[in-house]
A and B are shown apart, each in its own frame.
Chain A
């Protein structure tokens, strides 16, 4: 069973979102479940800092040995920061998906896409595995 922290929100596309309650800037990454399903992550492409994104946009991609998947942003707004460390060392997405493996930060404008609680995300992933 993958690690699913209680204090984060999730998407059906296996991203996590932190800091929603703060209402200003959120941090987004991919879940431990996604990282395990991908296998060793070898390449991460992220949006440019300063880019304007809309909720549901494909803004980047994560490649592993066997496959590639897109990163969707669950919130719209301005990308204020991207994690250069995970671009330089994509294995951080495997080793610390909720910590050093974070992907990008967005200053939120408007409402997020439908988000899942930890409990709902846990139910989703146990159905898939």
Chain B
């Protein structure tokens, strides 16, 4: 049985199609996923992301413990700011991609993917053992609700006195939203401006209703995981299990910039990653745009001159381009004349550099 989030009854009353995702019962869509996708691009969408994991690392050496446990330089992060980072194994293979929020001098929150947070929590505990820091997985105490889209700030501003205009991208601050204590973070996974609100489980339902009411005049609609996936794909954002996995290093994924070799001290995976950092990987992550209407999907081979030169990691019809798009790992040098083997038929594709979509700021 999959675990429900605190918002399960709300989703059911909205007529959502629910699906199992990483052991959680999550809304896949409420109606048309294309309409949900477009609402986020043009107005705003409301997401239940309570399946994400929240792991707290606290204590005088919390920053140093994270510097050792992760590839990023988290002790250098200013309180109130957030970083995209990764946890890797000794071989440099990616165990998860993470957002780390520094809540105070001695307090960090590590947000991990639903499919990985138990493993990440265990790894952090092991890796923090020799530091004066405490690792605590509080995933089951927190709900996460996201408001994403160009109208997100206007909507949220009606429910909080927090300084939203002063809150930068990849920053977070504690505040009251509709009278409920929340961590208000300007982060997301849609390619749009937006906020993620971490709240106690019991506040999730009233906060959802308050946001729904506040967003009514702004075109806010509830949006499920299906639209979240197409939104992040257009924005070229990797998904663990598709673009990222334990057999890949951050460099393989084109994300070597998250590895901070210049931070002090050792970190798990340092020697393995130093050995590969200057070697171009055999394949790189690129975008493919289909010329036809059939959709390349996860695992389909990329073909050039009859030979396999890569593999699709994610694919979907794109609302913005009006054509199917995909992310794929493709051999270096293979650029023109590409096709994807879609169930036996070689469908021509044009290679582009990611992302497919970048919002106007």
Report the interface size class on chain B: 10 to 19
List the one stretch of B28-36, B68-76, B301-309 in contact with chain A: B28-36
Q: Is B249 an interface residue (CB 8 A)?
A: no
Taking a contact as CB atoms closer than 8 A, the residue among B226, B229, B317 that contacts A42 in the complex is B317
Would you call B295 and A63 a contact (CB within 8 A)? Answer: yes
How many angstroms from the CA of A44 to the CA of B183 in the assembled complex?
A: 45
Would you call A40 and B32 a contact (CB within 8 A)? Answer: yes
How many angstroms from the CA of A21 to the CA of B352 in the assembled complex?
A: 53
How many angstroms from the CA of A37 to the CA of B19 in the assembled complex?
A: 11
Would you call A40 and B295 a contact (CB within 8 A)? Answer: no
Taking a contact as CB atoms closer than 8 A, the residue among A36, A40, A42, A68 that contacts B297 in the complex is A68
Taking a contact as CB atoms closer than 8 A, the residue among B17, B230, B293, B343 that contacts A65 in the complex is B230
Given contacts A65-B226, A65-B317, A66-B226, contact A39 B33 (CB under 8 A): yes
Q: Is B263 an interface residue (CB 8 A)?
A: no
B28 neighbours in A (Cβ, 8 Å): 39, 66
CB distance from A65 to the nearest CB of B (A): 5
| Central interface residue in A37, A45, A66, by most chain B CB within 10 Å | A66
Would you call B33 and A68 a contact (CB within 8 A)? Answer: no
Q: Is B326 an interface residue (CB 8 A)?
A: no
Q: Is A121 an interface residue (CB 8 A)?
A: no
Q: Which residue of B has the minimal Cβ distance to A61?
A: B343
How many angstroms from the CA of A40 to the CA of B230 in the assembled complex?
A: 12
Q: Is B218 an interface residue (CB 8 A)?
A: no
Q: Is the interface of B mostly helix, strand, loop or mixed?
A: mixed
Would you call A65 and B294 a contact (CB within 8 A)? Answer: no
A42 neighbours in B (Cβ, 8 Å): 293, 295, 317, 324
Given contacts A43-B295, A63-B295, A65-B230, contact A36 B316 (CB under 8 A): no
Contact with A along B229-243 (1 / 0, CB 8 A): 110000000000000
Q: Which of A11-64 contact B (CB under 8 A)?
A: 36-37, 39-40, 42-43, 45, 61, 63
How many angstroms from the CA of A29 to the CA of B347 in the assembled complex?
A: 26
A65 neighbours in B (Cβ, 8 Å): 33-34, 226, 230, 316-317
Q: Which residue of A has the minimal Cβ distance to B317?
A: A42
How many angstroms from the CA of A13 to the CA of B324 in the assembled complex?
A: 26
Would you call B33 and A40 a contact (CB within 8 A)? Answer: yes
Q: Which of B284-302 contact A (CB under 8 A)?
A: 293-295, 297
How many angstroms from the CA of A63 to the CA of B342 in the assembled complex?
A: 12
CB distance from B38 to the nearest CB of A (A): 11
A43 neighbours in B (Cβ, 8 Å): 293-295, 317
CB distance from A36 to the nearest CB of B (A): 7
Given contacts A36-B17, A39-B226, A42-B317, contact A63 B294 (CB under 8 A): yes
How many angstroms from the CA of A68 to the CA of B295 in the assembled complex?
A: 9
B34 neighbours in A (Cβ, 8 Å): 40, 65
A39 neighbours in B (Cβ, 8 Å): 17, 28-29, 32-33, 226
Contact with A along B191-228 (1 / 0, CB 8 A): 00000000000000000000000000000000000100
How many angstroms from the CA of A63 to the CA of B293 in the assembled complex?
A: 10
Q: Which of A68-114 contact B (CB under 8 A)?
A: 68, 94
**Would you list 27 pairs from A and B whose C-beta atoms are within 8 A, ordered by A residue?**
A36-B17, A37-B17, A39-B28, A39-B29, A39-B33, A39-B226, A42-B293, A42-B295, A42-B317, A42-B324, A43-B293, A43-B294, A43-B295, A43-B317, A45-B294, A61-B343, A63-B294, A63-B295, A63-B317, A65-B226, A65-B230, A65-B317, A66-B226, A66-B229, A66-B316, A68-B295, A68-B343
Interface residues of A (CB under 8 A from B): 36-37, 39-40, 42-43, 45, 61, 63, 65-66, 68, 94
Interface residues of B (CB under 8 A from A): 17, 28-29, 32-34, 226, 229-230, 293-295, 297, 316-317, 324, 343
Given contacts A39-B29, A65-B34, 4 further A-B pairs with CB under 8 A are: A37-B17, A39-B17, A66-B229, A68-B343
The 10 closest A-B pairs by CB, nearest first: A42-B317, A40-B34, A43-B293, A65-B33, A39-B33, A63-B295, A40-B33, A40-B32, A66-B226, A65-B316
